[in-house]
Structure 1
Amino acid sequence: MTKAQSSFLKFAERHFRLSGKALIENGHPYFVPTDALEAQSDQWPDGYLSFSHYDYLGLMHHPRTIAAAKAALDIHGTGVGASRLVGGERRAHQRLEADLADFLGVGGTLSIISGYLTNVTLIGHIAGQRDLVIVDELAHNSIMMGCRGGKFGFMTFPHNDLEALDQILEEHRATYGRVLIVTEGLFSMDGDITDLPRLMEIKEKHDAWLMLDEAHSYGVLGSTGRGLCEHFGIDPRRIELAVGTLSKSFASSGGFIAADADVIEWLRFTLPGFIFSVGLSPATTASAHTALEILREEPERVTRLRATSRSFLKLARSAGLNTGDAIGEAVVPILFPTAEECVFVADALMQQGIYAPPVVHVGVPKDLPRIRFFLSHTHSQRDIERAIRVISAAVSEFRNKEMRPVAE
């Protein structure tokens, strides 16, 4: 091993240790082969149950989405072979993007191979040296990374504190040419939402642009799953940029941008993450498009998801569990006072065949460890009652153990 390799390994080990390695040294619930758990489902009396996947509308295993992906493979092969700008695109790309735009009520959409990449590449492309980007402090890491690499001004405001945002704009707006506000529709770590009507007032008052990350809200919020704008009854064309993902409600993978048609056409020729990346694969495009078709045909899936989510939230709160500010829309976290308790409960769930891994240190503040529960159209009332029962018993066991006097 060279000196450089040795120093690099020490660097990695040190940062792994600082990020919480001690919590997982004796076994951990991450990178679990969930297909193996599914195959061994009969080892648990009530079978295997996952709350760790955001298949909100239950379309990942729908016969139509699977059949569409298979047919696309047979006709078009496994990939598209190049970026769409230099290698040409497929008519399936055009049809998916047109139908997404129609569904969301916007001028156009542009699909990109990675949801994470969509945020990273878009923010720096929009904002320049004389501009300011202001972001909710709990926005997704992809948004933060898109900001940290830019040459523009960058500030954050306290989570969902729109009065603080208004004050920042009062103090700093005149200093910058353009201002972009970035926040999320449904926050994936907390299950809460932005007060969009108030945000629109602030945005328009200060002549700012808004970029709304609806990764977790499309297919979830609103009576027919059209996101935060439908939830609040706001015309989506009033928002400059919205970002979505195909990996959640649309049961596939990749991301997309929704905006005015002229903006989308400009991005098709200029956005680095699009023009230097390969297009969506045929199977990915077909499965996502079919999921969109099913959502449009069966909006009752959104209604069922909402009822299931709110039932989970109600049961959790009735059991004395801390769900923070979650509103009961697909994502409900349960927060714990310590990382040790959080890991203990996650392990207790796994022992009963319920996969819901803990979130500690990475992605959330160190004093707010949690287990996120992603609810799905496929979850039954029995499923959520089972989960709450196991969590409650595990919490009681852990706290009773902690209160026992240490033997002399």
Structure 2
Amino acid sequence: MKTSNSSFLAFAERRFRLSGRALIENGHPYFVPTDGLEAQSDMWPHGYLSMSHYDYLGLMHHPATTTAAKAAIDAQGTGVGASRLVGGERLAHRALEEDMADFLGVGGVLSVISGYLTNVSVIGLLVGPRDLVLVDELAHNSIMVGARGVKGRFETYAHNDLDDLERLLREHRAEYNRVLICTDGLFSMDGDITDLPRLLDMKDAYDAWLLLDEAHSYGVLGATGRGLCEHFGEDPNRVEIAIGTLSKSFASSGGFIAANSDVIEWMRFCLPGFVYSVGLGPSTVASAHAALQVLRTEPERVAKLRANSRDFLQKAADAGLNTGTAIGEAVVPILFETPDECVFVAEALMQQGIYAPPVVHVGVPKDMPRIRFFISAAHSTADTDRVIKAVEEALQAATALRQRMSAE
């Protein structure tokens, strides 16, 4: 049956309101052109400050990454023109992948045009109709979409509750051919991590595979930014599939898979998201590779990021702010009692030149609205103090407004 345009628009409006639009009367804080905010930096006494970009190592504007990107465009143009399987392959692709594999200490790496597509495509390739996929309930949406799309059985376990995971394994492992466990290295909404040593022992004991999404943990966790395995002192080769991104610590875009070299070679010919997608563009590859080289030669950036993150977490705690389960590694959320309060604080921050949009309904439980603060090695102590003070003042103003409205 054909749906009229007017009925479709009415449907979209209802869904949009349910996702949080009804909370905001004077526009909304999403899809803001932040380059425009940057250009207007002088309108705020202390300038424009972004707490919404995951440029964890401060490399998006580093001379090494920008120079490499420009040189690649001059030499090779703006795109590769095809899937790598049939004409889109460039020498720079393998150079980046081999260097990344060496850095991470794994057999091989394969880059994919989209980080989101990487999880969806890999899970779909690995899990068949007689298989079971078990996912942390707060894993990234790309994992959830990939897992829900498989023909096998899909189950979630309570966030970071490995007792619950083991219960599922104990009860159901014998019923299935293969079992794939999926979780994040550093959870992007909560800023916490899973107990990797126990998880590795558990998946070995039950003959399961592990897919570990390290999108937010490469360049962040571990002494030199090699991720959750380095953080816990574990051999990365114990993880069957690790998923990374080039859009965060590596200041570019796209995703990648880190795995055994034979697995990577198999995926070059069988992974739909790779085989049927164009290869990464020259400037993307060049900037990501340059960022990796900076990380290799300047591991102190990881230490600076960690110091900034811990400073932010501590000062938030000292101010009585709720940071949930965050451990102080690049992602630190501040949780609020209501969506209204969350939106109010985000708007108050923007009025002072601090961009940190609210997260309400989409991506988090409805009763846990928050503002995520992405910390960077490029941030300063003054930046942290400015943000914490602004949040405190906004909360005080929100409380006063609520009390006044209640009295009326």
**What is the TM-score normalised by the length of structure 1?**
0.98
CA distance in 2, matches of 1:253, 1:91: 18
Cα deviation for residue 3 of structure 1 reads 5.3
Once the two structures are superposed, residues 341-361 of structure 1 have per-residue CA deviations (whole angstroms, 9 ceiling, x without a partner) of: 101110111111100000000
Cα deviation for residue 407 of structure 1 reads 5.4
CA distance in 2, matches of 1:55, 1:336: 25
Alignment RMSD = 1.0
Kindly indicate whether residue 250 of structure 2 is the aligned counterpart of residue 281 of structure 1. no
Question: Equivalent residue for 2:319?
Answer: 319
Structure 1: gaps (5+ residues): none
Q: Which residues in structure 2 correspond to 1:8-407 (within 5 Å)?
A: 8-404=8-404, 406=406
Cα deviation for residue 219 of structure 1 reads 0.1
Q: Secondary structure at the match of 2:378?
A: coil
Please say if residues 331 and 375 of structure 2, whose CA atoms lie closer than 8 Å, have aligned partners that are also in contact. yes
Once the two structures are superposed, residues 172-224 of structure 1 have per-residue CA deviations (whole angstroms, 9 ceiling, x without a partner) of: 00010000000000000000001101111111111100000000000000000
CA distance in 2, matches of 1:405, 1:124: 52
Cα deviation for residue 86 of structure 1 reads 1.3
CA distance in 2, matches of 1:8, 1:237: 49
Cα deviation for residue 14 of structure 1 reads 2.4
Q: Secondary structure at the match of 1:371?
A: strand
Cα deviation for residue 7 of structure 1 reads 3.0
CA 1:405–1:238 in structure 2 vs 1: closer, same or farther (change >3 Å)?
A: closer
Moved over 6 A (4+): none
Cα deviation for residue 88 of structure 1 reads 4.0
Q: Secondary structure at the match of 2:278?
A: coil
Q: Secondary structure at the match of 1:111?
A: strand
**Percent of aligned positions that are identical:** 72
CA distance in 2, matches of 1:88, 1:331: 35
CA distance in 1, matches of 2:231, 2:86: 39
Mean CA deviation greater in 2-11 or 47-56: 2-11
Question: Residue type of the partner of 2:26?
Answer: N
Structure 2: gaps (5+ residues): none
Mean CA deviation greater in 218-227 or 79-88: 79-88
Q: Secondary structure at the match of 1:403?
A: helix
CA 1:212–1:3 in structure 2 vs 1: closer, same or farther (change >3 Å)?
A: closer
**What is the TM-score normalised by the length of structure 2?**
0.98
Cα deviation for residue 396 of structure 1 reads 1.1
Cα deviation for residue 404 of structure 1 reads 2.8
Once the two structures are superposed, residues 46-97 of structure 1 have per-residue CA deviations (whole angstroms, 9 ceiling, x without a partner) of: 1100000000000000011000000000000000000000124000000000
Once the two structures are superposed, residues 260-312 of structure 1 have per-residue CA deviations (whole angstroms, 9 ceiling, x without a partner) of: 00000000000000000000000000000000000000000000000000000
Please say if residues 24 and 343 of structure 2, whose CA atoms lie closer than 8 Å, have aligned partners that are also in contact. no
CA distance in 1, matches of 2:255, 2:6: 38
Q: Secondary structure at the match of 2:4?
A: helix
Question: Residue type of the partner of 2:352?
Answer: Q
Cα deviation for residue 239 of structure 1 reads 0.6
Question: Residue type of the partner of 1:139?
Answer: A
Cα deviation for residue 405 of structure 1 reads 5.8
Q: How many pairs are equivalent? A: 407
Please say if residues 104 and 226 of structure 2, whose CA atoms lie closer than 8 Å, have aligned partners that are also in contact. yes
Please say if residues 185 and 214 of structure 2, whose CA atoms lie closer than 8 Å, have aligned partners that are also in contact. yes
